[in-house]
Chains A and B, each alone.
Chain A
């Protein structure tokens, strides 16, 4: 094929993607990194301030809160979601009438725009008009501030994230389960392994890769939570329910502190890069297919 590969033909094939990607992806990252070293804000020009923004971030209690909230959501979702969606995938493997329809319904939330997910859940969690408090009222439970109080809001965001992700994670697990060699499963069944033993000693070990991939995907997605916060709490009360990205959005676009905002963006970038690299490493090590 050497003759197909004249330099100009290679260039022709490579350049469109290369230029678009460089101009609108790599350059912006570099630009953000540069901005994070300045005090750009509002109308005034930018001046180089070195690492001041990074140091100031360490002192920013709202930022620290957004980190702990993100971590809280991360821990809650991953510890709950991975076993729950795995269990659900196992459940969907059983002889259930119309299992295909159920799987399609469970996957449904994954195609709903996150901004809509947030809106829908406002009408479930809102202390005054939400479904949840309406259901609890006859049981004599006083209105609970699911969103709007600093204590419960991050948990509520985690619940909504779980809702939006469970079908997606289940589907990946389900796909993984179906790829397990039928002979091995059959053999272990015939060996008299109980359902639990089979799960514990055969299924889970064979699914290790998939579990790792699902976990990393979910972690990456937690660091992208933005619309849910934006719709559910607006980050309030007083920034106590912000996540990393929603706080970055506030600082950059509402406060117009571009330098500080880009500093948070760089933090998000580093975290995102690390989790994604771990994901890539893992998925390259053992391809599922």
Chain B
């Protein structure tokens, strides 16, 4: 991750502060990373050593990982999370794109309807999702989808619509309409305009939206904790809460399981970090 050259504000001051500045930057970064290093160390300790002498380096073991892998169906959990993420992010992005296209590109008989609709969808940004937990739970029961993937997929789609619409309508407004007009001249229909003209040009913003939503689905806990009650459907963020009951005394196993959930996430982050950072901060910087 190279820093782009020539963007740093020029500095005139001497060498001495530079060393102090570097030292401070490294120290702070170390402190932020420390907790994650700590649980990684604990994950190699025997459970009783964690209580008595957590710094000991002579009794490291892989047993915790063996235990955790035996107890937690991690593959299953990752598969579930990916299924839920793919389903909800695909549909969520698609429907958000469709409505955003309509709101910015299509001509409504009454403009009022158009701006009201946008405001209606964006109002969701103001609602903390926790308010939805219990009602959605009842709704899932009533629709008979409680205990299926749909129980969380549909709420995830609904929850993603306001933010997606915010970004997409913002982008589409600034997007030049010449291409579309040319396509219309060529006799392209609505579907072809969306699919082959507008969508390809929106790749960067779509990537941002997809990353933002995927991170959300991977880390989301309150909804899954209430709406998923079948161990066969459990997601990775649920796995984490499961350690508590299962490993209450087995600290080592608990730490190993936590590390096993964390590491893949951190690895993916390391590969895509520029996009991930862009995705997660998009709402703030782009407004």
Contacts and interface: CB of A to CB of B under 8 A. Distances in A.
Interface of A: 1-5, 7, 9-10, 12-14, 16-18, 20-21, 23-29, 31-32, 35, 88, 91-97, 99-116, 119-121, 123-124, 128-129, 131, 134, 163, 166-168, 171-172, 175-178, 180, 182, 185-186, 189, 195, 213-214, 217, 223-224, 226-227, 231, 245, 248-249, 252-253, 258, 261-262, 265-266, 268-269, 272-273, 276-277, 280, 283-284, 287-289
B191 to A, nearest CB: 10
A276 B105 CA distance: 27
A4 B193 CA distance: 10
A186 B138 CA distance: 60
10 contacts: A17-B165, A24-B154, A27-B135, A100-B1, A111-B280, A113-B218, A113-B221, A172-B285, A272-B127, A288-B286
B184 A4 contact: yes
Contact of B11 (A18, A28, A94, A134): A94
Interface string B263-287: 0011001100100110011001111
B1 A95 contact: no
Nearest to B279: A111
B179 to A, nearest CB: 12
Main secondary structure of the interface of A (DSSP, over half): helix
Contacts of B181: 1
B68 interface: no
Interface residues of B, number: 104
Contact of A114 (B13, B130, B180, B221): B221
Contacts, number: 299
Interface string B130-143: 11111110110000
Nearest to B103: A14
Contact of B281 (A120, A172, A262): A172
A20 B25 contact: no
Interface stretch (B57-65, B72-80, B236-244): B236-244
Main secondary structure of the interface of B (DSSP, over half): helix
B132 A28 contact: yes
Contact of B126 (A93, A106, A265, A276): A276
A116 B261 contact: yes
Given A10-B108, A284-B287, A35 B32 contact: no
Contacts of A226: 130, 221-222
B176 interface: no
B281 A20 contact: no
Contacts of B234: none
Contact of B132 (A1, A24, A180, A227): A24
Contacts of A93: 8-9
Contact of B102 (A10, A94, A115): A10
B54 A91 contact: no
B27 to A, nearest CB: 11
Nearest to B261: A116
A266 B131 contact: yes
A28 B135 contact: yes
A119 B243 contact: yes
Contacts of A106: 28-29, 32
